[in-house]
Structure formats: structure tokens, C-alpha cells
Amino acid sequence: MNILETVRERTLLLDGAMGTELMRAGLEPGRSPDAWNLDNPEAVRAVHARYFAAGSDLAVTNTFGATPLKLAAFGLQERCRAINMAGARILNEVRPEGRYVGGDIGPTGKFLKPQGEFAESQFEDAFARQAEALAEGGVDMFLIETMYDLREALCAVRACRKVSPLPVFATLTFNRTRRGFFTLMGDSPARGLADLEKAGAAAVGANCTLDSADMADLVEIMRTATSLPLIAQPNAGQPQVGPGGEVVYSQGLEDYVSHFPRILDNGARLIGGCCGTTPETIRRLAGLVEDRRKTART
């Protein structure tokens, strides 16, 4: 069944954080996580398999930073196609029957003019190269995520639609301020989601930065801005340095999961985790989703 048909029928559960899982597997700080699709595919495959085993209906490729512009920081820009195709192949290798594979597209890490040096056409070209390789690798859809600049997100949506007929999902990342929720570049949820819908996104929403309590409030606001399926993937709080120098997140598992009934009640159709979440987080969310399905049937 097409993913858009499925999301109209029921809540879909995405996966959780990838980078921190790869670090647990030995990825060194300062190395490209995306390059592990070529250099350590077994580790990447194992993370994907754990998320599917935990209950993810949709998992995304290990290609968050795999635009040529982002890969250039590691001298890997010429390996863009190979890294993205490998990411799609690895995820397809562990995909259970009836689950979905998404092509993950994150921000370039650069800025558009006048804040930066890049033109929108350059961003579109970079995203198109990535999206073309992901589509060739066999993804079911694209997930453009963690976008702090609406203009960049729109470049990515246009690029995906230019090279492939696959559905495009897109999420912005918002900060909570005294005036409400805004991206780093000052984009509001109403403007952001409306413009993404106009550009042809098939599902929209938010991920990263916010914990699950703040995300529940944001979902309520986003629901009034669009009729498209809403995506919500909060962080497990904010990153902090633990006693042993390790990175830990401020929101515990119980508190994190406790706000998801409100996220769902406020209108989210696709839920999952972002930074600080693990396969255990997804397992707990899968139980929550299943309990709600059982309740709805009785």
C-alpha cells in the first residue's frame, strides 16, 4: 500500500536518533556518519534493524548529511551518489514486509544569500543530486528534516519533486520563544507549513530541538495551519554533559513518552524520536500506539 494511503488509515511510527546509535557502535567524533554506509555498513544495518524490531513503520536512511555541500567538509563530495545509494540499499536489506523506507535529507549546514554565500539554485542542485541517488537506491519517499530555514526547506522540496515522483515529507525545527514558536531564521509554523504545502510536500511537521511537552503544544498550533498529515519527532530534552563526559539528554524516557497521547490527540499522524531517543524509546511508543488502536476498536 502507498505510504500516503497508509497514513490516512492509521498512525505511523518513525524511527529515532541515528547519530548517537552509531557513536555507541564506535563512530568517532568528527567523522562523517553518512560515510559509514560505505565504511561500516554492518553497524548501520544493525541500527536500522533494531528500530524496525522496536516497531518502526517507517525508518529513514543514514544520509542526514549526505548532500555534496555537507560532505565537502569531509572531502567526500564526490562520493555523494555512492553514499546515498548505499544508505538506501542497507535500509532495504532489513526492511520487514509492509514497512516503509524513507530517504533522509538534512540541511546543508550552509546559509543562503544574503546571510551566506549560496544561491537557491546551488542548494537545489545539491539536494537534487542526493534525492536522485536515494530514489535510485529504492526509497519509498523523501523525508526532509531539521530545517531551520524555510527557504532551504523549499529548495529541498523543489529538488525532490524535480527528480522523482515519490512523496516528499518535510519538517522544520522550531525554538520556543516568548512570542511563540519560530525557526532560527524567524519562520512561524503557520507560514512554514503553508509554504511547504504550496511547494508540494505531502506531509509536514516539526522535529528536533523541542522536548515532547513543547512539541505537543506546537502540534496543536500546526494543526490549524495545514490539512496535510502532521509529523512530530521531538528530542528527548536538551543535550547535557554527563558525569563521565558523555552526552546525555534532559528528558527521561517516562516523561518523554507521557506527552505523546497529547501529541496524537492534537493531530499528529506520524510520530517518532529525534536526538537522544533510542530503539527502546520507539518500543515504548509502539506500545502506546497499539494500545490506542485497541481502544479505538472496542
Provide the pLDDT confidence category of residue 206 given band limits of 50, 70 and 90. very high
CATH number, domain of 183, equals 3.20.20.330
- Prior bond to 114 cis, omega within 30? yes
Three cell numbers, residue 77: 563530495
The 10s digit of each residue's pLDDT in 55-85 is 999 999 999 999 999 999 999 999 999 999 9
| Mean of all residue pLDDT scores within the chain | 96
Provide the pLDDT confidence category of residue 1 given band limits of 50, 70 and 90. confident
- pLDDT in the model for residue 230: 98
- pLDDT in the model for residue 296: 76
- Please tell me the distance from the alpha carbon of residue 273 to that of residue 235, in angstroms, as a whole number: 6
Counting the structural domains of the chain, the total is: 1
- pLDDT in the model for residue 248: 83
The two beta strands, 239-241 and 247-249, are antiparallel
The 10s digit of each residue's pLDDT in 209-264 is 999 999 999 999 999 999 999 999 999 988 887 777 677 888 999 999 999 999 99
Amino acid in position 59: A
- pLDDT in the model for residue 294: 83
The range of the structural domain enclosing residue 95 comes to 3-297
Burial 188-208 (b: 16+ CB within 10 A, else e): bbeebbebbbebebbbbbbbb
